[in-house]
Structure 1
Amino acid sequence: MPSNLTRFEAEWVEPSDAVRDVVDTYWAVHWQLPLHEAVTQRIVDFPAITLSIESGDVPAPFVVTSVRPGAWSRVIRGSGSVFAIRLRPAGLRVLSNLDAAALLHEQELTHELDERSHRALHAIAAGSSVLDRAATADEIIRQMLQDRPITSAQILANSAVDALTASARVRSGRSIAAGIGTSERSLQRALRATIGIGPNEVARRMRLQEVIRRLSSPGADAAEIAGEMGYFDQAHLINEFRSVAGMTPGQYLRDVQRSLEELHLTPGATS
């Protein structure tokens, strides 16, 4: 394989304003590795459900993915591509008849599993490029939203994730609920119905995403980050990270860096 041949490309596309309550982002990756070569990626999930269109060396053509209880690994081999729709909490009910709480962590999205979302992904897959697929998805989802408007519970779940995105500090489910003007029980029901996990777990995932982002910056200081994010101390941060990822933040970042180097990328190349 020529040394200048692209091994891995990643791209993010913002949804249109008409579907921002349903879609967080569209993302796409394309890879082409030499025969017999494999790269293992270590992943801590963002707290969201994702629908994806996949081709090449992949598990299935259409996949629905929910939040896993801990960090997980995906092995990249051969060549392939993924176009994914990362949903806002309100998105699953608009695009499907699936039950968030009953989803497997990753499963093939067949016509039999859910006809509504399968039909949408089939139409989006006809696009010839990432931008074509994103534009098609915008229009299809806009129509689906007219057919199935967002409910008050879904708006509540979206608001909770927005609040946690704005400030990923350590907070209890009760304080999160109070901050958006609802009860902890109502928030619990709304998030479990839309994402499949409760507010404390959503908050934990948002914090870990922010920890990873901050620690990836040059000169990052873990103790300083722990204080800014409301942890008791650096050990508290490390223990919470280990409880989800099964390793310390430093070990996780080294694994990510190794994967990027194997794919001939730098950390900034995929953001």
Structure 2
Amino acid sequence: MAEPIDPEERSGVLEPANLARFAATWHAPHPGLANVVETYWHVAWSLGDEVVEQRIIEAPAVTVSVEHGDVPWPLVRTTPGPRAWTRTIRGAGEVLGIRLRPAGLAVVSDVPIGAPGTTAVDAEADARLHAILATVAAADSLDGRLRAADAALLAATADRVPTREGLTANAAVAAMSHAVRARSSGVLAGSSDRAVQRALASTVGMGPKAVARRIRLQEAARLLALPDATPADVASALGYADQAHLTNDLRTVAGVTPAAYVRSLRALAG
């Protein structure tokens, strides 16, 4: 069942008004994919002659997607990097995204984490992932693509299960997502900091500090978009030493200060 992505959720979208404009929705994966897929999401747009620059502070996760219309490639893999994800959106199109859990990449793909960025999924370079996404893309409706995604991903888990290291990374990201203010060291009881470091590096391409920072900045973007939000209050709520530290983090990742971001949102709202 589709659930609209609420502007007040921690989505990382830096222009939250676009969530409704692009009919953004969450879709729950099959329960049997709990260790492999975090969520499915879908957006669709028809902009005419308008061009939109979309920015997102990505979750610390690899996303693979099936895309139609005015898009760079039909089958896509995106690995999070040190800066906010950006795309120029034009024309008309739609995207079904599959946000993987850290353990999921090794289950669905033959290509390790690699460098950050957005790339086309090539049949020769990654036959396993290409076959999964091509099956999804062949369906002729969103409901059909969701059913095809469940089926193809469940089939993938039948012959390749998540690794122990991948499950460690799953647990570490979940723990940091539920305790945004927590320190990144000692985040996972029963696992050493070094084990968590290795697990996250091999599955999402980030260390614990970078993962914690990314989750905290997603929460900062959510809080700053709320009515009457102030950068000082948000910095305090998220455990920053002071407003300057929040300002430096957000400017480094998203290219905008908290104060400027709040002003831009209020200008858009009139």
TM-score, normalising length from structure 1? 0.86
Q: Determine whether 1:175 maps to 2:186.
A: yes
Q: Does residue 185 of the first structure (1) align with residue 194 of the second (2)?
A: yes
CA drift of 1:104 comes to 4.3
> Within 2, Cα distance between the matches of 1:79 and 1:120?
24
Q: What amino acid maps onto 1:206 in structure 2? A: I
Q: Which residue of 2 aligns with 1:22?
A: 36
Contact conserved, 2:176 with 2:182, CA < 8 A, in 1?
Answer: no
Moved more, 241-250 or 25-34: 241-250
> What whole-Å deviation, never above 9, does each CA across 1:42-87 have from its counterpart, x for those lacking one?
2222111011111211111111101121124311111111111011
Structure 2 unaligned residues grouped into runs of 5+: 1-19
Q: Deviations over 1:68-126 (max 9, x none)?
A: 211243111111111110111011001011110x2441111010120001000011112
CA distance in 1 between counterparts of 2:29 and 2:108 reads 15
How far is the alpha carbon of 1:13 from its aligned partner?
0.4
Following superposition, the deviation at residue 184 of structure 1 comes to: 1.2
Of 89, 94, 118, 2:102 maps to: 89
Note closer, same or farther for the CA distance 1:7–1:171 as it changes in structure 2 (3 Å cut): closer
Is the 8 Å Cα contact of residues 42 and 255 (structure 1) preserved in structure 2? no
- The amino acid across from 2:69 in the alignment is G
Partner of 2:133: 121
Moved over 6 A (4+): none
Q: Distance in 2 between matches of 1:7 and 1:231?
A: 33
Letter paired with 1:25 = T
State yes or no: 1:152 paired with 2:161: no
Identity %: 45
* Residue segments in structure 1 that go unaligned for 5+ positions in a row: 1-5, 267-271
Task: Say what the alpha-carbon RMSD is for the aligned residues.
Answer: 2.0
Distance (whole Å) between structure 2 residues aligned to residue 71 and residue 33 of structure 1: 23
Which stretch of structure 1 is more off in the superposition, 243-252 or 202-211? 243-252
Looking at structure 1, the residues matched to 225 and 202 of structure 2 have their Cα atoms a distance apart, in angstroms, of 33
Q: Secondary structure at the match of 1:192?
A: helix
Look up the match of 1:269.
none
Is residue 160–residue 180 contact of structure 1 (8 Å, CA) maintained in 2? Answer: no
Offset of residue 225 of structure 1? 2.6
Q: Is the 8 A contact 1:42 1:256 kept in 2?
A: no
Matched, 1:110 2:122: yes
Number of aligned residues: 250
Checking the alignment, whether the CA contact within 8 Å between 2:186 and 2:192 is kept in structure 1 is: no
Distance in 2, Cα, partners of 1:60 & 1:257: 34
Q: TM-score with structure 2 length normalisation?
A: 0.86
Q: 1:17 to 1:72 in 2, by over 3 A?
A: closer
